[in-house]
Amino acid sequence: MSASYDLVIRGGTVVTASDTVRADVAVSGESVVAVGKDLPAGAREIDATGRLVMPGGVDPHCHIEQMTAAGLVNADTFETATVSAAFGGTTTVIPFAAQHVGLNLRQVVADYKALAARGAVVDYALHMIIADATPETVASDIPAMVEAEGIGSIKMFMTYDRLKVDDERFLDVLLAARQSGALVCVHAENHGMISWMSRKLVEKGFVAPKYHAMSHPRLAETEAFTRLIAMSELIDQPIMIFHVSTAEGAAVIREARGRGVKVFAETCPHYLILTAEDVDLPGLEGAKRMFSPPARSASDHGALWRALGLGDLQVVSSDHAPFRFDETGKLRAGPSATFKQIGNGMPGLESRLPLMFDAMVSQGGMGLQKFVELTATNPARIYNLARKGSIAVGGDADIAIWDPDCSVTFSDATVRDAAGYTPYPGRTVRGWPQTVLVRGTTVIADGVLAVKPGFGRYLPRAGGEAARPTGHLVREVDPHRNFGATLL
């Protein structure tokens, strides 16, 4: 008898953002072709009895092989980063093509695409970082990169000396994004407050990694979110606010969404797990948990969970930004480095889903569907990756088969990215993906990588629905109410 499908994943519990059902999943070619009970035989079968069959994760914010704000390249290559992502159940990533000041955006995009094509083992799209909003970048390069290269999102920084874009240029880029149909993602913190606090702390000898957390006042987040939302409203350009860390930040977003501003927002596992006290470690050890914005407090954790539950925040990304804890990375400035001389960021591609599964499903009450929604479906929808983020007939067969009872204790000895350490040593999570498929091909089978570097495929995309303006213009830019001046 000939097989009806290339593959049937049989007898598992299939979870999507809307349903949890006992069903088989059939795959032919690269797509899911049927979901149902007692499906006919596949040429290959995977027994998923007792397992959860879930969409592969979509991680829409990760720094891979990127030149960062500190002038340091991340520890990972596209190969090591995406292998670690796959082992943690993530099948699509959106890293960055990072334009620094003086660089030509088209060349930057070509360079990062080449790096990714060589190494990636899962599928990937790109965001473009704009640090140098020259007239040529704004008028010609951004539209070309959206249209010809399928980069449907732009990232800008409101802080970091090398990357920050001032408000006037920021508005130029928001308008270019509006005209090109791209979403704008933002690292929003008040640069002056952070620079001033850092200078004062260092001058007075408060230089340990824990003072990095104090150098980023929570007010810097609230102020920047408020200013950013005002700029977004002026241009009527939808935005995604990256890595929300405070209760007040979440409240600013809730208020803006409540009055109809098109603001999306994400947080990351570390803002739900770590506090500033966790950075207070002997010597420079705290550098392993230095990232920006920094870890806050337990009451922020509660507020961020509520904001995720309510839909004020829609996405949990990793903000994977790995540096080794040695002279090539975090400790580049030597053993007496101040927090200002230590690279920001930490690894997270592999741990994102297991940490969230443990918190939301194994320990918590938010449940499987919300877990899938925040970590796969919402990022796929918001970033316009139509075939990703769910298990649906016609979609890509990107599937992670989880053992919900598999307990794993994080340890430096077992991390798979190139940072070489885990920020969560000794922490045990319950639930881990055992088998991971990308477009129907097994990428991870029972702890073994089964594809070669370069298997991952580039996902060109437009900005999509999330990037579509609301059509509501404030008076000063509305030609019907501003005495006829056409500005947008």
Residues that bind ligand URP (CB under 6 A): 63, 68, 187, 291-292, 319, 321, 344-345
Span from 261-269, 315-323, 353-361, 402-410 in contact with Zn ion (CB under 5 A): 315-323
76 binds, among ligand URP, Zn ion, none (CB under 5 to 8 A by kind): none
Residue nearer to Zn ion on the CB measure, 319 or 417 = 319
The answer to whether the beta carbons of residues 173 and 231 sit under 8 Å apart is no
CB of 293 to ligand URP, least distance (A): 8
Quote the tokens at residue 314: 């829609």
Residue nearer to Zn ion on the CB measure, 187 or 388 = 187
Helices (H), 15-153: 78-87, 105-119, 135-136, 142-149
CB of 129 to Zn ion, least distance (A): 10
CB of 230 to ligand URP, least distance (A): 22
Distance CA 88, CA 82 (A): 10
Distance CA 223, CA 239 (A): 16
- β-strands 96-98, 448-449: how paired? unpaired
Distance CA 93, CA 263 (A): 21
Which stretch of DSSP H or E encloses residue 454? none
The answer to whether the beta carbons of residues 174 and 237 sit under 8 Å apart is yes
Residue nearer to ligand URP on the CB measure, 24 or 189 = 189
**Percent helix, percent strand, percent coil in the chain, to nearest 5:** 35, 25, 45
387 binds, among ligand URP, Zn ion, none (CB under 5 to 8 A by kind): none
**Directed axis angle between helix 191-203 and helix 218-235, to 10°?**
160
Neighbours of 185 (CB within 10 A): 25
Residue nearer to ligand URP on the CB measure, 209 or 433 = 209
**3-class DSSP assignment, residue 367:** coil
Span from 69-77, 314-322, 371-379, 412-420 in contact with Zn ion (CB under 5 A): 314-322
- Which residues, numbered 82-141, are part of the site for Zn ion (CB under 5 A)? none
The answer to whether the beta carbons of residues 444 and 435 sit under 8 Å apart is yes
CB of 480 to ligand URP, least distance (A): 39
Which stretch of DSSP H or E encloses residue 28? strand 20-28
Residue nearer to ligand URP on the CB measure, 292 or 435 = 292
262 binds, among Zn ion, ligand URP, none (CB under 5 to 8 A by kind): none
CB of 350 to ligand URP, least distance (A): 17
Distance CA 150, CA 223 (A): 33
Residue nearer to ligand URP on the CB measure, 7 or 72 = 72
124 binds, among ligand URP, Zn ion, none (CB under 5 to 8 A by kind): none
Query: Site mask, Zn ion, residues 170-189, x = CB under 5 A?
Result: -----------------x--
291 binds, among Zn ion, ligand URP, none (CB under 5 to 8 A by kind): ligand URP
CB of 129 to ligand URP, least distance (A): 9
Residue nearer to Zn ion on the CB measure, 288 or 387 = 288
CA-to-CA dists, residue 284 to 212, 291, 324, 332, angstroms = 12, 14, 13, 12
Measure the N-to-C terminal CA separation of the chain; round to a whole number of Å: 63
344 binds, among ligand URP, Zn ion, none (CB under 5 to 8 A by kind): ligand URP
Distance CA 432, CA 402 (A): 5
Distance CA 186, CA 158 (A): 7
169 binds, among Zn ion, ligand URP, none (CB under 5 to 8 A by kind): none
Residue nearer to Zn ion on the CB measure, 187 or 461 = 187
Residue nearer to ligand URP on the CB measure, 76 or 233 = 76
71 Ramachandran zone, left/alpha/beta (phi>0; psi -120 to 50): left
314 binds, among ligand URP, Zn ion, none (CB under 5 to 8 A by kind): none
Distance CA 42, CA 6 (A): 5
Confirm or reject binding of residue 155 to Zn ion (CB under 5 A): no
CB of 309 to Zn ion, least distance (A): 24
Number of residue whose CB is nearest Zn ion: 187
| Residue whose structure tokens are 């979440």 | 250
Confirm or reject binding of residue 319 to Zn ion (CB under 5 A): yes
Query: Applying CB under 5 A, which residues contact Zn ion?
Result: 187, 319
